[in-house]
Chain A
Amino acid sequence: MAKVYELANTHVFRRAALSKTFADRLARKLFRGVLTLQGLGAFALITLGVILDKFSVARSVIHPRVRHEIYRSGVALVPMFGYVSLALGFLVVGQTVSALAKVGATDYLGSMMVVVVVRELGPLLTAMLVLARIGTANVIELGTARALGEVEALEALGIDPVHYLIVPRVIGMALGIFSLTVYLILGALASGYLFAFLQDVALAPGDYFKQIAAALNWLDFALLALKTVLFGFFIAIVTCYHGLARPLRLEDMPRVAVRAITQGVFICVLVDAVFIVLYLAT
């Protein structure tokens, strides 16, 4: 008996007891995840409701804010996306040409560019970059506003915080990501051809354009628009939810920002997966 007691107090048993704690922790995390999902869903519905309900309320205040957010999440990022589109074209074409050349299938360069850049990498890369650059700023700005009592001040003035703070960000980010994705795709396709030309691929610009046009159909355009707008919507909702809707103190900010970005990445990948299924189904 004494031996059993002694054994129970060894590191082995202490470590064994940890497995219960681990399960407990896992369950707690899952439960917290469900609660977050519920909160995010409610927040998204409230935001959609406010967008529809207050479409014509205080236009002279909200419209300039929407324009500002479009500039912030779109226009201001154009130089960075110019650089990224060059890199993306180089990366995809560089790898694709060497791979296709081995099997003598460089004629498929245009189709590969459409599949990789238009359908997948372009939208997802844009969403990730905007999430990192603007999503983080959203969490910090809104969290600071919340912690410093600016949200209460808005309510005291009869201003709906969701209408004033969230709606412009959601619209700005949805339109910003859509526009930036189009820029990125066009830039990557152009730079892709440039790098293919530099690699002596025997492909006339007209043929390259024809390959791309043949590989695209109306569904690509429709799904691209829908996907990018959804990326923008969800990124704005996740980052604004963590910044504004949750009780927040200034010292919580770094932890909340990391959580918001992680969840943003998770949701974007999830949305992308849904669209892959849609592409495959059609």
Chain B
Amino acid sequence: MSETFIPAVIEMRGVNIGAAARPAANDVNWSVRPGEFWVVAGQQQSGKSNLLMHAAGLTPPAQGGCRVFGCATDSFDDAHLAERLRAGFVFAGGKLFNHLTVAENVALPLRYQKNLTAAAAAGEVGALLKLLELGPFADATPANLAVNWRQRAALARALVLKPELLLLDSPLAGLGVPHRRWLQAFLDRLWRGHEWLGGRPLTLAVTTDDLRPWRHPDRKFAVLDEQTFTVLGSWREVESAQIRTVKDLLAEPVETTL
């Protein structure tokens, strides 16, 4: 019986990450299959954000090829908008539009891509805001929100077009403990198939500078260390890895003794 070929959601071959003059990592080969949950770890300034930006087709890699849903990202133009919109992106810090309210931020991609009026998009946006517990903040502007809620609003904005791939850059950075727990549980629900996405499992890739919160037997892990991208595999391989960065990112925070 022949095995059915499932095309990769993200396929990177020989990619140099970051600026051409000073790449953060060389010769990156990374393949993300549908339904996988990837955690890419690395110290700050190691090139994690650039890796995700290349993967989403937002910036072309200095060298090498990257395909998302089988479409080369260097040819991502208006003709390939449909492929591009299959990937959602949550930036570190949210990068919400400061001149719009939370509800308007979430509604914008829906209204722009489907040419809807604010009233026509209100129902769907309201449901999503309710799902992410953002209802009370719908009319607030991002500058007046705590980082916890800004991150949720950014997640809502990325989910409103119901993507098949979700890339999150340092989603837990700066969040309070209850919000971290909530976000992890929510991402897990998305990954398994959330009713918002019609029960379809979501492919996820997140970056982090702390591996411990992402411990999970079914997730896949990779690390960016000393200009090298290394696929570690499952959590078991993470624990047994002899890479210094991995050990650093697994270490407990230093506790002060009084």
Task: Point out the residues of chain B lying under 8 angstroms from A58, CB to CB.
Answer: 111-113, 115
A150 engages B116 (CB within 8 Å): no
Q: Which of A61, A153, A158, A160 contacts B95 (CB 8 A)?
A: A153
CA distance A150 to B88 in the complex (A): 15
Q: Which of B58, B84, B95, B111 contacts A148 (CB 8 A)?
A: B95
A158 engages B108 (CB within 8 Å): no
Q: How far, in Å, is B80 (CB) from chain A's closest CB?
A: 10
A60-B116, A60-B117, A61-B108 known; A156-B89 Cβ under 8 A: yes
Q: How far, in Å, is B164 (CB) from chain A's closest CB?
A: 14
A60-B117, A152-B58 known; A157-B95 Cβ under 8 A: no
CA distance A145 to B81 in the complex (A): 23
Interface residues of B in 90-115 (CB under 8 A from A): 91, 93, 95-99, 108-109, 111-113, 115
- Which B residue sits closest to A155, measured CB to CB? B58
A60-B116, A60-B117, A158-B84 known; A153-B111 Cβ under 8 A: no
A58-B115, A149-B91, A152-B91 known; A157-B98 Cβ under 8 A: no
- Which A residue sits closest to B167, measured CB to CB? A156
A157 engages B112 (CB within 8 Å): yes
A157 engages B111 (CB within 8 Å): no
A150 engages B115 (CB within 8 Å): no
CA distance A156 to B81 in the complex (A): 11
CA distance A253 to B116 in the complex (A): 35
A158 engages B81 (CB within 8 Å): yes
Q: Which of A150, A153, A155, A159 contacts B112 (CB 8 A)?
A: A159
Q: How far, in Å, is B171 (CB) from chain A's closest CB?
A: 15
Task: Point out the residues of chain A lying under 8 angstroms from B48, CB to CB.
Answer: none
- Which B residue sits closest to A154, measured CB to CB? B97
Asked if B175 lies at the interface with its beta carbon under 8 angstroms from chain A, I say: no
CA distance A155 to B77 in the complex (A): 10
B111 engages A152 (CB within 8 Å): no
Task: Point out the residues of chain B lying under 8 angstroms from A152, CB to CB.
Answer: 53, 58, 91, 95
Task: Point out the residues of chain A lying under 8 angstroms from B96, CB to CB.
Answer: 150, 153
CA distance A61 to B108 in the complex (A): 8
A38-74 to B contact mask, C-beta < 8 Å, 1/0:
0000000000000000000111110000000000000
Interface residues of B in 141-176 (CB under 8 A from A): 157-158, 161
CA distance A150 to B96 in the complex (A): 7
A147-190 to B contact mask, C-beta < 8 Å, 1/0:
01110110111111000100000000000000000000000000
CA distance A237 to B78 in the complex (A): 23
- Which B residue sits closest to A157, measured CB to CB? B109
Asked if B56 lies at the interface with its beta carbon under 8 angstroms from chain A, I say: yes
Q: Which of A59, A153, A158 contacts B97 (CB 8 A)?
A: A153
Interface residues of B in 113-133 (CB under 8 A from A): 113, 115-117, 120
CA distance A157 to B158 in the complex (A): 8
A150 engages B95 (CB within 8 Å): yes
B98 engages A150 (CB within 8 Å): yes
A153 engages B91 (CB within 8 Å): yes
B91 engages A59 (CB within 8 Å): no
Asked if B71 lies at the interface with its beta carbon under 8 angstroms from chain A, I say: no
Task: Point out the residues of chain A lying under 8 angstroms from B98, CB to CB.
Answer: 144-145, 148, 150
CA distance A152 to B91 in the complex (A): 9
B115 engages A157 (CB within 8 Å): no
Q: How far, in Å, is A64 (CB) from chain B's closest CB?
A: 8
A158 engages B58 (CB within 8 Å): no
A157 engages B108 (CB within 8 Å): yes
Task: Point out the residues of chain B lying under 8 angstroms from A160, CB to CB.
Answer: 78
- Which A residue sits closest to B120, measured CB to CB? A60
- Which A residue sits closest to B84, measured CB to CB? A158
A149 engages B115 (CB within 8 Å): no
A148-B95, A148-B98, A150-B98 known; A159-B109 Cβ under 8 A: yes
List 19 additional A-B contacts (Cβ < 8 Å) besides A149-B91, A152-B58, A157-B109: A57-B115, A58-B113, A60-B116, A61-B111, A144-B98, A150-B96, A153-B91, A153-B96, A155-B58, A156-B56, A156-B58, A156-B88, A156-B89, A156-B91, A156-B158, A158-B81, A158-B84, A158-B112, A160-B78
Q: What are 17 contact pairs spanning A and B, CB under 8 A? A: A57-B115, A58-B113, A58-B115, A60-B116, A61-B111, A145-B98, A148-B95, A148-B98, A152-B53, A152-B58, A153-B97, A155-B58, A156-B91, A157-B161, A158-B81, A158-B112, A164-B112
What 5 pairs across the A-B complex have the smallest Cβ distances? A156-B89, A157-B109, A149-B95, A153-B95, A58-B112
